[in-house]
Chains A and B, each alone.
Chain A
Amino acid sequence: MGGRNLKNRKILLMGNPNVGKSVVFSRLTGVNVIQSNYPGTTVGYTRGHLNIGQSEMDLIDVPGTYSLSPSCKAEEVARDMFFDEDPELIINVVDATNLERNLYLTLQILEKGIPTVIVLNMWDAAKRKGVHLNLGKLQETLGIKVVTAVAVTGEGIKELVDIVNGITLNPEGNVSSIPKMDDDKKWAFIGQMLSEVQKIEHRHPSILERLEDASVKPVSGIIIALIVLFIVMQVIIGLGEFLINYILDPLYYQFYGPFITSAVENSIPSGFIHDILIGSGYEYETSFGLLTTGIYVIFSVVLPYILSFYLVLGFMEDFGYLPRLAVLLDSIMHKLGLHGYATIPIILGFGCNVPAMLSTRILEGKREKFIAATLVAISVPCMAQTAVIIGLLGQYGIQYIIMVYGTLLIVFTILGSALNLILKGESPEIFFEIPPYRIPHMKTLLKKTWMRVRGFLLEALPFVFLGILAINILYLIGVMGAISSLLAPIMSKMLGLPNQAIDALIMGFLRKDLATAMLAPLELSPNQLVVACTVLATSFPCIATFIVLIKEIGIKDMLKTIFIMLSIALITGTILNLILN
């Protein structure tokens, strides 16, 4: 290992999916995490720094894989990294409750002759499950160091760091001498070894385990799913409203609004720049300023719901509910040209379409990606759109909100089935491990939520700001007005809305908040608002989603999506108008 450039010293963190690699990763790197990831949905990887003694090393969180002979994208990434990155050391995270399967990958890793240390994670769960291990014998048989850990609480991490430190000082002593074997021999070796070092006591299933089975069985599964959905909506909306009413609104109206308005008024009393920055003051609905309405919409309309959404989503992920939902809905999703996995981007889409588009990477084929991305962009309203819908229709009663979401559900189903019929190919079958239910660790959950919220702020905000700025300029110089008046007569006939409302919808293509603000004072009937909200939701998502969409599916498919989007928005709006008015 001599002569290696110190800056390129790498440690790979490898293991099966769902063994807690990412938690070990964040424990080892502390705050130096560069990118947050969506467990079970990441094809990319995370890189961080680890300080060992005097030196700093790169720690890479490799996507979870069952073997080094890949059967999906994430596994290909894992294999390529293993063979190409030339790591100095491998930390193999192993699920202590499921040694047999996990050790297969371990043997494949050990064959390469790179210094390796094994982390037996979820040691607490293994003990609860009645697993007894002769650690000394296991280390002796494998010829490398094994450390037990409970990554979520940090137990065993210090020992791991000490071992890593020791290995970097003396790499040769930590290479396994197990010979290369074919697959059958590997399994036989593992079986033989486990019969010698592992004993499992029998015990009765816990309540959580009973609940595990109930949540995928047809009848109880659907009942549980409905209850979960209800609780999730209640918590997201309740927590979001609490944050807005008691924290963010007071902050904006009592401190930020008056402050920024007077600050700008004092330095730039009037003119183009003044109008772009603060518009007509700090009333968020009518000022249209970048620093007033813009800031308000991002921090007091969207952010609270994003925050509560990610908190609830993170809880469901850590608890282990999402894979069960995927199993439960798999057969329905197949009729829409997708499979159970696609429930993840769809659920993410209700929070923010941007991570939803990113997570379509877990889907195997181009066809599935296209279907999922198109369905999300058109029929899954993000939290910002939901805020608009609730803001406009909430005062007239829940039945109008149900009309909008019901229409979106119908659009979702018809569009999915149509795309499934039109696009050639089949959606592959699902095949994955369903993790056991686990009570989430609060600190880890909060940290993950924070990383996602920060990710949202860093990734989406610049685009939202640029979008608002561009539209503001186009609006002020009259371009938007010209486009609106050109299209308005045609659309008002189809949608049954007054011309000013059509103006708002066209603006809303790029700026939802402006659309709300413009629709609010028009005194539309609730039925007209239903049409307007549905058209707003099915037509363009936000500009940030667009950028990600181009990146994920390419410009050609993106143009197809836009065409489908506009047709559907117009057709759905027209049909709703015919039925309601």
Chain B
Amino acid sequence: MSTAHPAASSARVAVVTGAGLAVPGLTLPDELLGTVREGGFDPATGLVGRDLRHKDRASRLALRATAPALRAAGLFDGDRYTGSGDTTAVVVSTNVGILENVCSFADTIARDTVLGLSPLGLPQTSSNVIAGSVAMAHGLRGPNVTLCNGPTSGLDALYWARALIVTGRADTAVVIGVEPAGDIVTKLLGTPALDGAVALVLESADRATERGAEIRATVAGCAREADLAGAVARAGGLTPDLWLTEAADDPAGPPAGSVLDPAAGLGAASGALGVLQAAAAVAHLDTHGGHTVLATCGGPEGDGVAAVFLTGPDHTP
């Protein structure tokens, strides 16, 4: 009998070759670290166009983050995806991506019966509408995964994207963290929410090298555990130069050269948080190629903590 995944090998490593944002006021990931530019993404003007017609807001945001990430990875010529669609996965993290749809559709039924609903809304009742929209837009026919996993969801998406690559289910994975804002979301979260998306392109190191892509970071370790110390240890226990976290005051936190919350000021990032942190890590490693960055999400009072280590292209163990 054959092995489950003949292509799988412990030597397979997942690397990051692209990052893109659709976050209000921002243009490039280094702005998550404090770089200031004029302009930036404006949802009022950036979420229109024929390609977005009949799409839900979360899908629109995701598509607007995916294109620059693919372009940065050298996998998008402005018209079409230039990688292998059959071996490219999509992994989306979102917690409240369709909440507005669900609640407003229930309102419509109560008011106008089901005949008041738009038939085009059917896919928007399932959270995987976002990953499906991205797959269709770019012809990505590999595994298509949607994580709705609470505070750790964004880093959990990286965990699974890496797993898909290491096991050989995919050679490339587009990882997206997205949360659309709205009155219903704000009411549930009790605080203003992020209205944006961030996308990363992960690849097997072999595939990236083969096509001459710039490797901007290596996903050196991922884990999810009950608490911070456990998650950091399971992810590899490296010593980070930079720790990206919402929980900088956690006494169980690792010693790090510096600590930063790249999502501060953006609103509750929820399922997009971990991917935002990873994009910030990539921006940091663009200028500090020998560094190690740790990203963590969640807390021991919730479901648990996710941790991801990313290392720069010049990192030496």
Partners in one complex: no
